[in-house]
Amino acid sequence: MGFFDKLLGRSAEPEETELAFPDIPAWISEKERAIHEEADSAVRESRPRVCAALQEMQGMVDALKGAKPEENVVLHPKLLRVVEQGVPRYAAAMEKTLSLSVSEVPGEYYDGCVELISQIAKNTRGPGRYIVNVFPGQMKEIRIQTDVIGREVNAISGVLAKSREQSGWVDEATETHALLLAKKSQLVEIQLQAAHLAEKNDTMAAELSALKHDLQIYMGGPEAMEYDALMARQAVYGGELREADADYKQILSRSANVFRKAVHICEQSGDTETHALLKAVRSGLESPSSVERARGLAVYPSLFPRLARMIRENDTLIKNKDEMALFSEQDAFIVPLTDAIARAEELNTESARVADDLSSLSFVGKKAELEEKIHLLTEQIPANAAQINDIQDITDDIRASVPEQAEHLRLNLEHLAGEGVHVTLIQIPDFS
């Protein structure tokens, strides 16, 4: 800064420094070395003065151990006894304190000096409290040397504070530089991943289109016509089975009230044989199995004479013409149910035969295979597209964060460069 700049209070133009991004780690390492060297140098300069002060104090302690009060000084006998007893204790405490090692490592050196001052003060407040009244010269010299150490502590404290501050900038700059490199690597990686997914989606879209075309052609071929015909027959059998089952259940529903009343009469009269026959007929007929239904119906001839007697003896057992017609004679009940069971059995057999024919068609497996592939591709393509969108969001976040982090790095480097230096970063990785 020139004379007139100082006179007028004008600031000097900042020194411009360009730093290439790849060179930053080496530049930081050099600054870090200089920071440590400055602290080490301060300790190298300060330590001899502290060691000399300790030697001086050791000399004073040695002198105290053999010192006698001046003859022309009148001392109270009690004070004299206290001092005579206190000097050995004080000397022992001080020798223990002065034997503490003084490290050459800046932080340890500072802590050691602070500990020395603390222990010396403690010794002085303790066994050395009354010694100053008898040996003021020696105690004054110890206090002077203690002040020497105190001044060194104050001086090294400023150096260490600056060193800690600069070390913090070193750590932040190193971390931010590494973070930017990591983000660049991440950006390259996810962009490659997005490109791979996009290429994969193009391939799968073409494959999906071809599969749909193949399925459309296959569904119009001769095997499909045979398949459709079998499916139509199976649908017819299914409808007829439902009708046959409905007819069968309708007959059962017409008989349910009569059977229920007959069971009640058997329970009241204690007719266990008829009750067992009623139970065998009902459980067989109410089974979903055609075999069980036929077995239940086969018991009915043994039941009918007993049931007919009960109907004759109980006017309330039959309540309408439908029930009267159903139980008027044995075949009135057996024949329609036998026909319904046989019809259902026949339809089940035909339906099973059609199912076998369907299962033997290669068309079914080929159609299912094509449809499964189409289904998988139909799900995977949008899933990949969603992943590509997520990658784009991450890419946008990375790009948006780079300017702020780069500026944070620049400011940390500027702090390390020193006052009056403006740092410009060049060759920053391309995040576009």
Domain residues for 313? 218-362
Q: Quick one: average pLDDT of 399-406?
A: 93
Is residue 377 in some structural domain?
no
Task: Yes or no: say if 102 and 177 are a contact pair by the CB < 8 Å rule.
Answer: no
Give how many domains the chain has, as a whole number: 2
7-11, 67-71, 232-236, 267-271 — which is least confidently predicted? Answer: 7-11
Q: Are residues 27 and 166 in the same domain?
A: yes
Q: Quick one: average pLDDT of 346-360?
A: 83
Task: Yes or no: say if 269 and 294 are a contact pair by the CB < 8 Å rule.
Answer: no
- pLDDT for the residue numbered 28: 93
Of the residues 362, 389, 417, which one is the last residue of a structural domain? 362
- pLDDT for the residue numbered 76: 59
Q: Are residues 96 and 224 in the same domain?
A: no
Task: Look over the chain and give the mean of its residue pLDDT values, rounded to a whole number.
Answer: 87
Is residue 426 in some structural domain?
no
Q: Are residues 59 and 129 in the same domain?
A: yes
Portion of the chain with pLDDT greater than 70, in percent: 93
- The pLDDT of residue 12 is above 80: no
Q: Are residues 249 and 136 in the same domain?
A: no
Q: Quick one: average pLDDT of 150-168?
A: 91
Element (H, E) at 424: strand 421-426
Secondary structure letter of residue 197 according to DSSP = H
- The pLDDT of residue 23 is above 90: yes
Is residue 161 in some structural domain?
yes
Which band of pLDDT confidence, cut at 50, 70 and 90, is reported for residue 388? very high
Which band of pLDDT confidence, cut at 50, 70 and 90, is reported for residue 4? very low
Three-state SS annotation for 51-70: HHHHHHHHHHHHHHHHCCCC
201-210, 232-241, 271-280 — which is least confidently predicted? Answer: 232-241
**Using CA atoms in the order 244, 245, 250, 254, what is the torsion angle rounded to 10 degrees?**
110
What digits encode the pLDDT tens for the residues 31-78? 999 989 999 999 999 999 999 999 999 998 988 887 776 665 555 566
Higher pLDDT, residue 71 or 397: 397
Q: Are residues 146 and 233 in the same domain?
A: no
Q: Are residues 146 and 263 in the same domain?
A: no
Supply the CATH number for residue 269's domain.
Answer: 1.20.1440
Q: Are residues 34 and 166 in the same domain?
A: yes
- The pLDDT of residue 158 is above 70: yes
Q: Which two tokens stand for residue 66?
A: 């053999």
Q: Quick one: average pLDDT of 250-277?
A: 89
- pLDDT for the residue numbered 3: 46
Which band of pLDDT confidence, cut at 50, 70 and 90, is reported for residue 289? confident
- pLDDT for the residue numbered 1: 47
Is residue 234 in some structural domain?
yes
Q: Quick one: average pLDDT of 152-176?
A: 92
Q: Which of 195-204, 252-261, 276-285, 289-298 has the highest mean pLDDT?
A: 195-204
Is residue 16 in some structural domain?
no
Q: Are residues 53 and 165 in the same domain?
A: yes
Q: Quick one: average pLDDT of 136-158?
A: 91
Of the residues 362, 377, 406, which one is the last residue of a structural domain? 362
Q: Quick one: average pLDDT of 1-28?
A: 73
Q: Are residues 32 and 119 in the same domain?
A: yes
Q: Residue 288 carries which side chain, given as an amino acid letter?
A: P
Q: Are residues 155 and 254 in the same domain?
A: no
Is residue 383 in some structural domain?
no
- The pLDDT of residue 224 is above 80: no
Contacts of 432 (CB under 8 A, 6+ apart): 399
Is residue 26 in some structural domain?
yes
Residue from 128, 132, 24, 33 nearest 75 by CA:
132
Q: Are residues 138 and 270 in the same domain?
A: no
Is residue 423 in some structural domain?
no
- pLDDT for the residue numbered 90: 85
Q: Quick one: average pLDDT of 348-357?
A: 84
Which band of pLDDT confidence, cut at 50, 70 and 90, is reported for residue 87? confident
Q: Quick one: average pLDDT of 406-410?
A: 93
The DSSP result for 85-136, as a single string, is: HHHHHHHHHHHHHHTS---SSHHHHHHHHHHHHHHHHHHHHTTTTTGGGT-H
Q: Are residues 138 and 244 in the same domain?
A: no
Q: Phi/psi zone of residue 18: left (φ > 0), alpha (ψ -120 to 50 degrees), beta?
A: beta
- The pLDDT of residue 293 is above 70: yes
Which band of pLDDT confidence, cut at 50, 70 and 90, is reported for residue 82? low
pTM here is 0.59
Of the residues 327, 362, 397, which one is the last residue of a structural domain? 362
* β-pair partners for 424: 18
